[in-house]
Amino acid sequence: MPVSVAEQPPGADPLRTHCPDLDQWSRSWAYEPRDIPLGVRLIEYFTPFLRDLLTQQLSRTTLRRHRDNIWVLGGEVIRQLQMDSALRRMPIEQIVLGLIEEEGGPLLSHRQSEDEQRSFDATCRRLFRFLTTEPTIGRRRRPRRHPQ
């Protein structure tokens, strides 16, 4: 049975335990080498949200579902950059907030089931709220901006 976040050994990073492959996400999303630095920035952008999830009383299944959906969102962001190279000049924050909204995320591109899309939308809604709410405990969150 996996160790819960509350039962981590002293000094262990709960995020690394929950997302052991986090450093490989940028490569898994990449269509070409120039996508990797953008993927690294996406990971940096998503990390506060992933850490915030770990502080909540969520089941392992729910945490895993949100983690997996964030990974899917990263892939969707990189796919958008492949389709519209002008997006590459925009800040990652603006690109992500242009894809997600209060209602959810983009329509998934790999023919996922309705249940998978609903799950993905739930994670995107939660991320949207996290990114657009008032600052908490010294962290400043950015207002929503749409890509032009």
Can you give the pLDDT at residue 135?
62
CA 126/CA 69 separation, integer angstroms: 11
CA 78/CA 73 separation, integer angstroms: 9
> What is the pLDDT averaged over residues 90-117?
92
Instruction: Give the single-character DSSP code of 104.
Output: B
**Residue 109 pLDDT grade (very low, low, confident, very high; cuts 50, 70, 90):** confident
CA-based nearest residue to 45, from 9, 7, 93: 93
Measured CA to CA in angstroms, residue 96 lies from 14, 57, 121, 142 at distances of 25, 26, 13, 12
Assess whether pLDDT exceeds 70 at residue 134: no
CA 88/CA 97 separation, integer angstroms: 14
CA 58/CA 56 separation, integer angstroms: 6
For 33-71, the pLDDT digits (tens) are 999 999 999 999 999 999 999 999 999 999 999 999 999
> What is the pLDDT averaged over residues 79-86?
94
Can you give the pLDDT at residue 139?
42
Mean pLDDT score of the chain: 86
Can you give the pLDDT at residue 8?
46
What pTM was computed for the model? 0.82
Find out whether 73 and 29 touch, Cβ atoms under 8 Å: no
Two tokens at 39? 């993927």
The C-alpha R_g of the chain, in whole angstroms, comes to 15
Two tokens at 140? 């400043």
